[in-house]
Amino acid sequence: MTTFDFSDVEAFLDCHPELFEEYLVRKGKCDTLSRWLKEHQPSKTSPAEEKRGVVKDPIWPTNPDGLRRRSSHMELRRNFARSKATTAHRTYDEHVSLTAHESQSSMRRRALLRKASSLPPTTAHILSALLESRVNVPQYASSAIDYKYRLKESNEREFFLELVKDISNELDMTNLSYKILINVCIMVNADRCSLFLVEGPSHKRTLVSKFFDVHSGTTVRPSSSTLDSNEVQVPWGKGIIGYVAEHGETVNIPNAYEDHRFSDEIDKLTGYKTQSILCMAIRNSDGEVIGVVQAINKNPSGTPFTEDDEKVLQMYLPFCGISISNAKLFSESRKEYERSRALLEVVNDLFEEQTDLEKIVRKIMQRALTLLQCERCSVLLLEDIHSPADQASGFHIRSVLCVPIWNRTHQIIGVAQILNRLDRKTFNDADQRLFEAFVIFCGLGINNTMMYNQVKKTWAKQSVALDMLSYHATCSKAEVDRLKAAKIPLSSELGIDEFHFNDFSLDNDAMITASLRMFLELGVVQKFKIDYEVLCHWLLTVRKNYRTVAYHNWRHAFNVSQCMFVMITTAGFQEVLTDTETLALMVGCFCHDLDHRGTNNAFQAKSGSALALLYGTSATLEHHHFNHAVMILQSEGHNIFANLSSNEYSNMMQLLKQAILSTDLTLYFKRRTKFFECVLSGQFSWSNEEHKDVFRSMLMTACDLGAVTRPWEISKQVAELVTSEFFEQGDRERSELKLTPAAIFDRNRKDELPVLQLEWIDGICKPLYEALVKLNRKLQPMVDGIDANRKKWEELCRSYQQTRRASECISSLEAGETESPQSSDSTHEPESSQSEVTNQSEDSTHCVEPNQAKVANYK
């Protein structure tokens, strides 16, 4: 086998330069060529540019004086371009662009790989440098560009064919635009070149360049829809570029400053002198203008563009038009593919979750933001009531796309809208078509979820109805007749006109007669012409529709009603409340806990009860109590509002609903701050309907909590009944829901009742009654009753702390502690610690308002 020395190979290549050149074109690497250029040509790049990997060797082998500009001019132009926009769309592939040495088949394979990828493998590429400078076309060492120049000088036919082939297979619009820009500069020996593409509908067309260089010859302004992007927008028909686009004519100007369409704005800012301009339209196969190419300053400097330049561009630009049309078609097909895939993901998401309307609406909004690249999305269903929150929040709306949501029976069930595209452009026809397709699937998903919720509510209604039928009962006619015939004692005889009334002194029948006395003395029976037999029937039925639970039973309802009665009559609130309001408040007190199950709202939500499914998780029980009250009123022989006019009846039912819902402590927390502020600042006014509305709510809450104002024996007995009911709920939470109940529901922590009562009084009750006393001093006995009871609870709290401390000491002694000098010193520790606990208990009397969620458990 023959062997060769390196010198033999080198000598062979020297004798066959064409073979070496062909080998280099096929197998040479960019790194090798870059090193060769660096060694054989002086480098003029700055350190910062070398760090970024941008090499600025001249790409045109002509007089350097005609190509190079002073660095100061370049810096000015660079700063001006950056002032127009900052964000660069980096989609150019450095590796594909620089490997011009590869074979054509290899380049085509690489191009296909590039086009198949959604993002370039790196952002450190030549287009990045272009977009950062926005001034100079990237000047890097490229044998492909040198090759084009050699072809231009040696074989114009091959040169033209090479430029056509260069753009024929390029489907990426960014890369294609860049190649066209480079090729036009080479073709006509231009110092600078810009490419503008037509965008927008026919009635609102604009010219947009993604390669901002020097857009001379037009009134250039940053695109209003892309303030943060790298695009520059030229109005249609304005300046030289707009004129060429509008009329399709070629403009060849030897001296730009002699043309009235030319604007020297950029020249003044950058110090660059624009002389000659050649501007031509790019058309598609139908003859429509789809872009404009502009070449500036033919080299050598000062030479005007010739007719030959016009002719060669006229031959080349039709091929550019074909390539641009193909790239647009490819881009649109790519977008449609992505959108179709996104719609399939939407369908998968929507039909995965069809049990929770809130979840599915949230998914719709999240998907819409991603799919249509917008800032905000909202879905409004017909049952929703929304205020213009966007204006209130200061959110600036630039563009809106709003479409109806249809169900499967072609009925509108809501509206979906998106706001502000992220690229700051307006929504176009493609966006509308996509959003309409998107909303079709949304409508199906929402409709299915609504149907599922309707089925759940129907089941819940049936379950609640069956449950109510097992407890609901009406009184017999004999009971009504006996009550009608019974003598009704006076208020003073019953004791119901006193704040310290003891409801335990009356039995069930006595409470009914006392209730009749309240209605009679308030004058509402005569005022509203209430049939006395109907009133008796209604009261007896209300009593029967309270369950036999420990606390929320008929006795509690009567106790709340008596508290309302004494507050209205003793404090003189009849003077500020209308008769309608008085009757609604009294009826609300009697009905406010109808069909109470002995568990609170939180338990209904945790257990997923039929009530929670039917009424939701907000004021669940209160809505049920009101509906139950309406059911009784609509029963035959029970409508105590029968003689009211239509308007009076509507107003009465509205007031009744408000009164019953006011007993939800969640609503109390929302409204009491405003009430306290008005009262304490002296701004409360009885003529202000809003103030009066809040007052009625506070009055209902004060009556519902009225047991805390009773004498100690009564108040303590009621607290024990409440605790008993809470413990039963806690037992159910532990056994049925497998949850650890809160302290007030935990039977194992029953000794903490005094501490919890102090929190209850300080955080909820006392501030409310003190505010009411500010309005009317006649309510002072209620505050006095709270203070007296608080002292009793405080004593029990101290006793509990002492007992607990003593038991801890005994436990520690029984654990085996022996007496020693150290332990004997500690024998006095319990006593001192006891005093510390006492002091801590005294300090705890100044309680900060407790957590609302914790206190709300009482209800």
Q: Which residues are tagged catalytic?
A: 552
> How many residues appear in the chain?
859
CA distance 696 to 687: 14
Instruction: Indicate the burial class of 548 (C-beta count within 10 angstroms; 0-12, 13-18, 19 or more).
Output: exposed
Strand pairing class (232-235; 277-283) = unpaired
Can you read off the two tokens belonging to residue 588? 């609300």
CB contact set of 131 (below 8 Å; sequence gap of 6+): 88, 89, 90, 211, 230
**SS3 state of residue 42:** coil
Q: CA-CA distances (angstroms) from residue 825 to 136, 584, 821, 835? A: 90, 67, 6, 17
Residue 530: how many other CB atoms lie within 10 Å: 20
CB contact set of 841 (below 8 Å; sequence gap of 6+): 794, 797, 798, 801
CA atoms within 13 A on the CB side of 735: 7
CA distance 653 to 651: 6
CA distance 144 to 140: 11
Closest of 302, 301, 298 to residue 310, by C-alpha: 298
Amino acid identity, position 190: A
648-687 burial string, b = 16+ CB within 10 Å, else e? eeebbbebbbbbbbbbbbebbeebbeebbebbeeeebeee
Q: CA-CA distances (angstroms) from residue 226 to 209, 422, 424? A: 12, 9, 6
Q: What is the 3-class SS of 143-179, one letter each residue?
A: HHHHHHHHHHHHCHHHHHHHHHHHHHCCCCHHHHHHH
Coarse DSSP helix, strand, coil percentages of the chain, rounded to the nearest 5 percent: 60, 10, 30
The answer to whether 240 and 266 are in contact (CB under 8 A) is no
CA distance 180 to 323: 10
The answer to whether 292 and 313 are in contact (CB under 8 A) is no
CA distance 852 to 759: 11
**SS3 state of residue 714:** helix
CA distance 679 to 304: 87
**Residue found under tokens 């304005």:** 238
717-738 burial string, b = 16+ CB within 10 Å, else e? ebbebbbebbbbbbebbbeeee
CA distance 602 to 620: 9
CA distance 727 to 731: 6
The answer to whether 99 and 110 are in contact (CB under 8 A) is yes
CA distance 572 to 61: 104
Give kind and range of the element (H or E) at residue 319: helix 307-352
CA distance 813 to 817: 5
Q: What is the DSSP string of 783-809?
A: HHHHHHHHHHHHHHHHHHHHHHHHHHH
Strands (E), 301-398: 374-381
Amino acid identity, position 513: T
